[in-house]
Amino acid sequence: MTQALLREVNERIRGLNDDFSIFTGVMQIVCECGDPTCLQAITITPSEYEHLRSDPTWFAVIPGHAVAELEQIIATQPEYHVVQKRRAATAAQASGFNP
């Protein structure tokens, strides 16, 4: 799965979670690392998720799942790390450009 697709999946999960988070205070999303087989769940609060979505280059991954060459860890939480896609990688991925 691509990270763009994962984002879509997580957006839909958020819609479902919205109802539950009223009671639990937390929601679950899927790890947004580059591993196509990784579908590990991350527990996150709705406000943390909103903050994460405020920048399209930010992704939540399970600690240890970040790829150093492509991503920079910009925040660490007990449950997950926030990584920022390096600009070149993001542009290349978006356009399909492959030098």
| E strand segments, 8-47 | 27-30, 41-44
- Pair 31, 65: CB distance under 8 Å: yes
Question: Shortest Cβ distance from residue 48 to Zn ion (Å)?
Answer: 17
Could you say which of 29, 30, 31, 60 contacts Zn ion (CB under 5 A)? 31
Residue 82 interacts with Zn ion (CB under 5 A): yes or no: no
Would you tell me the crossing angle of helices 3-24 and 46-53 to the nearest 10 degrees? 150
Residue 33 interacts with Zn ion (CB under 5 A): yes or no: yes
Question: Shortest Cβ distance from residue 63 to Zn ion (Å)?
Answer: 10
Stretch binding Zn ion (CB under 5 A), from 25-33, 41-49, 68-76, 89-97: 25-33
Query: Six-digit token pair at 13?
Result: 């999960």
Residue 27 interacts with Zn ion (CB under 5 A): yes or no: no
